Structure 1
Amino acid sequence: MPPVLRIDTIFVPAIDTSAAAEWYRRLFDMVEIFRSAQHIGLRFAGAPSTSTALTLIPVERIDPNTHVAFNFYAPDPEALRESLVAAGSEVTPINTNGAMRWFDFTDFSGNRINVCHFPGKQ
């Protein structure tokens, strides 16, 4: 058996974890899977319990991110980008490289996140 089976959670800093959790729930159909002090765990609605989760961790300030810590795979990145723009998020244009399409956006707390799409992955 390998020493590690999966990435269990990705830690995302947030100044207001409750407000950030509500933002992720509303825009990405995530559900709360645990709450401990100010830490809040989220997972996509309907995903198995072994799916990678996001854990919002409390911080006093968000340092400007110069890199993307994680990305979401989206079946329709154009539609997702439109919904993020409508929600007031800072969003980059969609980039392409062959069949791969991607863009970056800033979440509720100011973290830079990437969205990608490429054929053959669901």
Structure 2
Amino acid sequence: MKPILRIDTIFVPAIDTAAAAAWYARVFDMVEVFRSGRHIGLRVAGAPRNSTALTLNPVERIEPLPHAAFNFYTQDPEALRDRLLAESAEVTPITDEEGMRWFDFVDFSGNRVNICHFAGGE
């Protein structure tokens, strides 16, 4: 037996979990998969039930990290960057290096997140 089967959820701090959930749903086409008190779980729409989820974890204050805590894979980093800019998100330029393209953004709650694309990632 394997000691673990998957990464089940990523905990993302949020002061207002309901507003952060609405933002992630709108920007990334995510759907709510559970709610427990102020904790809200989201998953990419159409993803299998056992795919990794985000759990918005209620906190009083966000402690900014100097790096991205996690990343999302996309097929079209330019379009997603444009979408984030339309949401007034803080985004970095796209970096293209050795077959990988990526950028960082700051989410609704102030967390730094990364977006990446590479051939064969689908």
Give the TM-score, by structure 1 length.
0.98
Structure 2 gaps of 5+ residues are none
Q: Distance in 2 between matches of 1:54 and 1:65?
A: 18
Please list every run of 5 or more consecutive structure 1 residues that lacks an aligned counterpart in the other structure.
none
Percent identity among equivalent residues?
70
State the distance in 2 between where 1:106 and 1:67 align.
11
Tell me which residue corresponds to 2:64: 64
Structure 1 CA distance for aligned equivalents of residues 121 and 16 of structure 2: 34
Match of 1:94 in 2: 94
Q: Can you list the C-alpha shifts for 1:46-101, whole angstroms capped at 9, x where unaligned? A: 11110000000000111121121110000000100001001100000000112110
Q: Does 1:104 align with 2:121?
A: no
Q: Distance in 2 between matches of 1:38 and 1:120?
A: 37
How far is the alpha carbon of 1:14 from its aligned partner? 0.1
Aligned-pair distance for 1:114? 0.2
SS in 2 for 1:19: helix
In the other structure, the counterpart of 2:42 is 42
Match in the other structure for 2:21: 21
Distance in structure 1 (CA, Å) of the matches to 2:39 and 2:100: 34
- 1:118 is matched with 118
CA RMSD of aligned residues (A): 0.6
Structure 1 distance, partners of 2:93, 2:66, is: 17
Partner letter of residue 54 of structure 2? L
SS at match of 1:72: strand
Residue 31, structure 1, aligned to residue 25, structure 2: no
Runs of 4+ in 1 over 4 A off after TM superposition: none
Alignment correspondent of 2:10: 10
Q: Distance in 2 between matches of 1:98 and 1:6?
A: 28
Paired residue total: 122
